[in-house]
Amino acid sequence: TLSRRNIGWVMQRTLSPTVWNILKQAGKLADGMGFKIYAAGGLVRDVLLGQESLDVDLVVEGDGIRLAEELGKAHRARVRQHHKFGTAEVILSEDFKIDVATARVEFYAYPAALPQVESSSLHQDLYRRDFTINAMAVSLNEKKFGDLVDFFDGREDLEQRMVRVLHNLSFVEDPIRILRAVRFEQRYGFKIEPQTLKLLKEAVRQGVLHKVTSERVWEELKHILVEAEAAKMLHRLEELNVWPYVFPDVNYWEVDPVLKELHNAMDLLDQWGQLQPAERWLPYYIAVLHWSEVEVALRVCRKYNLSKRQTEKVQLALEGWREAVAMIWKAPQDVKISQLAKVLLKMPRESYPMLLAILEDSWIKVRFRQLLNIIMDSKPKINGKYIKSLGYRPGPVYREALDALWRERLDGNLRTEEDERQFLRDYLDRVTKGESKC
């Protein structure tokens, strides 16, 4: 029926005003230039699922790059062009970019008067995509705004909750789709359609994943590790024998219980105001590797070309977590807060979700929270400036002295700021015997 084929009103209801206005505007611009224009892929899928989407992926029958330039002008946004592919990116902000692709109309293939001609290039563009649920488009031209273009029955598969490839060679042509199939299946609680599952398993058996670069695996893996259902996705990768390609020599079953708890742990830390990971994928990544030998973990880090700082965080987490967990478990009278702080502060923040996930009982979680609060609240107000004012030459002694001060405060030995100054003066005097003075 008409209403099923036009989803304009669902778009208006689900999309943010910003995205909605951009789609409207893109349609008008294309009208003015005589192009046909569509939004495709993830946005259409998510709108039909009743979910918001920031993923604007435009397909232009005409000149996508020119359209992108006009859109860029209207928003004073930077436009990155890839002439070789006829694509462009309109960069509205750091995390809001619009992809524009050109679907070339190949006039020679069909008589120009036939209606198929108009959509043949869109058809080609959509046919190159991974799954039917991702291969729908919606018209944006004013007169047809909201008309659904669904060549491969994607809407039916969405309703049946199925992830289905468009053709038999899909996983062989792009093995990354093996990971993507798992991601969409678990994100939405769908099933990989039986024939698709057969093709997927066959592709895995043939070792097609050896043919993709680690860069591309990493790109997709990062997407998985920031998903709410990351644990389920990783479990599914194990089930489908994909895990060994992704995390070679890492034993899935050793980390399974911690992975399953990690999302809750991150939620808790977030509620406590203690979660600010710079890289959102890192907590899961650390949890995946925490039972492994350091050499195995470092090999994985090298495979995915992690930075020196990221690798260091992984290593510190692996070296520190057993001691940290053991200490948190100790009765308060048996361990000094400063000792605990020393161990915890050596570990990266991104490893705290894993620590919390390992601490199963709720009372020990409460204790962990108290410890974090105490540690974070007791950061001394006195800093290097004071040491400098005492006439000491800047050097490693600053850090050592301030750490010693922090520990002393944590153990409750210093009451006033004057106590702290006194402590620092004594400490510096003792360790430097005056030789570091300017």
- Please give the Cα distance from 90 to 97 (Å, whole number): 6
Query: Among candidates 358, 348, 351, 366, which has minimal Cα distance to 260?
Result: 358
176 binds ligand CTP (CB under 6 A): yes
148 binds ligand CTP (CB under 6 A): no
State the nearest-atom distance from the C-beta of 208 to ligand CTP, in Å. 13
- Please give the Cα distance from 94 to 100 (Å, whole number): 17
Identify which range of 73-81, 174-182, 286-294, 376-384 contacts ligand CTP by CB under 6 A: 174-182
Identify which range of 126-134, 191-199, 365-373, 418-426 contacts ligand CTP by CB under 6 A: 126-134
State the nearest-atom distance from the C-beta of 97 to ligand CTP, in Å. 10
Q: How far is CA 86 from each of CA 61, 80, 124, 263, 334, rounded to the nearest angstrom?
A: 11, 11, 15, 40, 67
155 binds ligand CTP (CB under 6 A): no
DSSP helix/strand/coil, 372: helix
Interface map 24-53 toward ligand CTP (x if CB under 6 A): -----------------xx-----------
- Please give the Cα distance from 263 to 314 (Å, whole number): 19
> Tell me, what DSSP letter sits at residue 367?
H
> Tell me, what DSSP letter sits at residue 272?
T
45/66 with CB nearer ligand CTP: 45
Query: Among candidates 242, 267, 245, which has minimal Cα distance to 186?
Result: 242
130 binds ligand CTP (CB under 6 A): yes
Paired tokens of 243 = 């895990």
233/288 with CB nearer ligand CTP: 233
Paired tokens of 131 = 């799954």
164 binds ligand CTP (CB under 6 A): no
55 binds ligand CTP (CB under 6 A): yes
- Please give the Cα distance from 277 to 274 (Å, whole number): 9
130/408 with CB nearer ligand CTP: 130
174 binds ligand CTP (CB under 6 A): yes
Binding site residues, ligand CTP, CB under 6 A: 41-42, 55, 57, 129-130, 134-135, 174, 176-177, 180, 223
